[in-house]
Amino acid sequence: MDAVVAARIGLPLLLVVCALVLMVWPILRLRRETGAAAVTLHRETAQGQRLVSLTFLAAQLGAVAFVALYALRGPAALGVWNAPTLAIWLGLCVAAGGVVLVAVAQRQMGASFRIGIDDAETALVQGGLFSVVRNPIFSALLVVLAGVFAVAPCSWTLALWIVAAAAVSRQVRLEERHLLEQHGDAYRRYAARVGRFLPGIGQLR
List the chain pLDDT tens, one digit each, 205 residues. 689 999 999 999 999 999 888 888 888 887 887 777 767 666 666 677 778 888 888 888 899 999 999 999 999 999 999 889 999 999 999 999 999 999 999 889 888 888 777 777 888 999 999 999 999 999 999 999 999 999 999 999 999 999 999 999 999 998 899 899 999 999 999 999 999 999 999 998 8
Give the start-to-end residue ranges of the domains of the chain. Answer: 3-193
Per-residue pLDDT at 132? 96
| 120 three-state secondary structure | coil
Answer for the pair 111, 120: CB distance below 8 angstroms, yes or no.
no
What is this structure's pTM? 0.91
Q: What is the pLDDT of residue 83?
A: 87
Amino acid identity, residue 59? Answer: A
Is there a contact between 52 and 41 (Cβ–Cβ < 8 Å)?
yes
Q: Which amino acid is at 7?
A: A
User: What does the alpha-carbon distance between residue 121 and residue 128 come to, in Å, rounded to a whole number?
Assistant: 21
CA 45 to chain centre: 20
Element (H, E) at 115: strand 115-116
What is the dotted CATH code of the domain comprising 3-193?
Answer: 1.20.120.1630
How many residues in the chain? 205
